[in-house]
Amino acid sequence: MKQFFKFMFASFVGTLLTLLVLLFIVVGMMSALITIGQKDQLKLKENTVLVGKFNTPIEDRSSKNPFQNFDLNKFKSATPIGFNDILKNLERAVDDPKISGIFLDLSGISAGFGNLEEIRNKLIEYKASGKFLISYAETYSQSAYYLASLSDEIYLHPMGGVEFKGMAAQTYFIKQLLEKAEIEPQIVRGPDNKFKSAVEPLIYDKMSEANREQTQQLINSVWDNFVQAISESRGIAIDDLNHIADELVLTTAEDALRLNFVDKLAYRDEILAVLRQKTGVNEKDKIQSVSFSKYATGKSDKASLSRDKIAVIYAVGEISSGEGSQTSIGSEGLSKVIRKAREDDKVKAIVMRVNSPGGSALASEVIRREVELAKEAKPFIVSMGNVAASGGYWISTNADYIFADPATITGSIGVFGVIPNLKGLFNNKLGITYDKVLTNKNSDFIDVMEPLTPFQHQKIQTEVVRIYDDFTSLVANTRGLRQSYVDSIGQGRVWSGIDALELGLVDELGGLEKAIAYAADKAGIHEYKISELPEIKDPFQLLIEEMSSQSRMRSVLKQEMGEYYYYLEYMRSVLNMQEIQARIPFYMVIQ
């Protein structure tokens, strides 16, 4: 009996503690929801410093999910600010009399080079206001320094440094892993798609010469634009910058100071003194500051009263059939959004922000058709972000005008199919066998539990060739090019935005704001509101999705595995491919 009460008491205490923990979590999350409800109530004091500390990945669009990256230790949300709100903040800060300047507190920054380019261009516009812009870091990564290089004053910790070593594109290959697991990746691609390297990690243990050629040209183009910008900002010759990168000259903070990469070496307390001096604050008084995330919750004084709208549609992630999500493109979901904007009489023009490596060719065509219909009704402009390639380019083709950033990865006009043969894994590794009966010779087409027959392989091959012909024909017709020319620059090859402009694949270099201005001009409107689509889901619905076992497991794996998580996702994507694919090389990391 004593043991019974002992265990009953322990169970009661455990249940009580669990309830208390859940209560604290709910209180913390409700606090985050209240913060959302306080939008437009942000009150700033005079001489406030806007602080940019981008220590979470910058996505195309700010999440309204207060439970994303929720910190259970501090009971507060660490929801990252999106690229869209960063641009709005910088524009708003120009005319905000309460903002005296911007302090970029930088070390690392996780963002694609396309988005970085647009943020940097917006900082150039901000600087024209005459308000100060200063940067500080213990160590600057290359991406962080790209933004910092614009600053009026660049400060660096005396024991810190500046990473400046050039760019490298790295791809992991899993051929040997698949061999050990006895998984056979059955690849079907067009005979001329030599640059369609998305499947190379499955069948090779290093880059093919064609892939090496296209990747080298891609990173050279991005790097040339990178050093050109820094040369103009810091007055350092491009040849000198390349020498510094080649020889890894920047080994110490003193090197960075001597070579004019930074203006002064300083500790954080000295930076605070600089900020006090710039804002007229006494030594013992608190510096008034506001983070980019919090500043984004305020209401802009420049909000238009016009009934006219420009719809900005975010097409972000891999393309597949279905509804999609905030991080993936579903053909049904995105098509409904485009159709809604087309049928809304208040929407005078549409800008689709594409940041996608592609995916299902069929799903891409479903979306493209909706773009074609929308274009017939009103101006339809595409703004390409970090990546708009393969399927991401496919859905862009029917736009009236295409903008790309210099560092946008685009093109990759090509298709392929991957059908994994899992027979060896199940039979030899797991000890699982199977048997079946058929009514016809190919009733089991396609079966991942056994290899394709030559006849089945040829059937898929014919379909791949047909879809590639459709792709090149589509690009030729919409871009006013010869199909033979499109084939010569296609074959799965990726290009930078700069190269894509020269090749005729895009119309102009520029970012999202330039695309919006162009759309307004084409629509003949001067006053308008921006309507961002798809609409953000209700926070409680997002909570339910966040608490799902699959979502939670992915979140934990991503946190624990870091950059290697993306290769796990690669394996998952390969095993889940159901249709002919139009994708760029998977998870190529440019450092």
Dihedral of CA atoms 530, 533, 538, 544 in degrees, nearest 10, equals -150
Evaluate if residue 75 carries a pLDDT over 50.
no
Evaluate if residue 13 carries a pLDDT over 60.
no
- The closest of 485, 421, 483, 472 to 447, measured between CA atoms, is 421
Choice among 100, 335, 390, 412 that is catalytic: 390
- Distance, CA of 93 to CA of 100 (rounded, Å): 8
Copy the structure tokens of residue 557: 């794996």
- Tokens 């110490």 belong to 252
DSSP E strand stretches across 234-282: 264-265
**What is the crossing angle of helices 512-523 and 113-127, to 10°?**
70
Convert the pLDDT of each residue in 337-358 to its tens digit: 999 999 999 999 999 999 999 9
Min mean pLDDT across 117-121, 296-300, 318-322, 450-454 is at: 296-300
Convert the pLDDT of each residue in 18-51 to its tens digit: 555 444 445 455 554 444 444 456 789 999 999 9
Min mean pLDDT across 383-387, 470-474, 566-570 is at: 566-570
- Distance, CA of 131 to CA of 71 (rounded, Å): 34
Confidence of residue 577 (pLDDT cuts 50, 70, 90): low
How many angstroms separate the Cα of 18 from the Cα of each of 58, 175, 436, 465, 545?
Answer: 34, 46, 49, 58, 22
* pTM of the model as a whole: 0.85
Mean pLDDT, the chain, whole residue set? 86
Strand partners, 418: 187
Mean pLDDT confidence for 494-519: 97
Confidence of residue 250 (pLDDT cuts 50, 70, 90): very high
How many angstroms separate the Cα of 114 from the Cα of each of 136, 137, 293, 539?
Answer: 23, 23, 21, 29
Mean pLDDT confidence for 439-457: 92
Catalytic-residue membership of 531: no
- Alpha helices (H) in 411-509, listed in sequence order: 423-424, 454-479, 483-489, 497-503
- Distance, CA of 316 to CA of 318 (rounded, Å): 7
- Tokens 């905030």 belong to 326
Other Cβ atoms less than 10 A from the Cβ of 509: the count is 18
- Distance, CA of 114 to CA of 511 (rounded, Å): 8
pLDDT at position 7 is 47
Q: What is the DSSP letter of 74?
A: T
Evaluate if residue 265 carries a pLDDT over 90.
yes
Min mean pLDDT across 182-196, 210-224, 446-460, 559-573 is at: 559-573
Convert the pLDDT of each residue in 455-476 to its tens digit: 999 999 999 999 999 999 999 9
Copy the structure tokens of residue 584: 């760029």
What's the chain's Rg over C-alpha atoms? 26
- Distance, CA of 183 to CA of 420 (rounded, Å): 7
Catalytic-residue membership of 378: no
Confidence of residue 111 (pLDDT cuts 50, 70, 90): confident
- The closest of 9, 267, 49, 45 to 137, measured between CA atoms, is 267
pLDDT at position 133 is 98
pLDDT at position 72 is 47
pLDDT at position 566 is 57
Copy the structure tokens of residue 11: 């169970």
Dihedral of CA atoms 546, 550, 555, 558 in degrees, nearest 10, equals -160
Domains of the chain plus CATH, in order, are 45-164+250-295 (3.90.226.10), 309-590 (3.90.226.10)
Q: Read off φ and ψ for residue 578, nearest 5 degrees.
A: -110, -20
For the four alpha carbons of 286, 287, 293 and 294, in that order, the dihedral sign comes to positive
Confidence of residue 496 (pLDDT cuts 50, 70, 90): very high
Strand partners, 353: 314, 383
- The closest of 119, 117, 116, 99 to 47, measured between CA atoms, is 99
Residue 557 host element (H or E)? helix 549-561
pLDDT at position 174 is 87
Convert the pLDDT of each residue in 198-242 to its tens digit: 788 889 999 999 889 999 999 999 999 999 999 999 999 999 999
pLDDT at position 582 is 74
Three-state DSSP at 566 gives helix
- Tokens 């009489």 belong to 345
Three-state DSSP at 271 gives helix
Share of the chain above pLDDT 70, in %: 80
Convert the pLDDT of each residue in 534-567 to its tens digit: 987 655 555 555 555 455 555 555 555 555 555 5
Choice among 88, 122, 194, 196 that is catalytic: 196
Confidence of residue 4 (pLDDT cuts 50, 70, 90): very low
- Distance, CA of 110 to CA of 56 (rounded, Å): 7
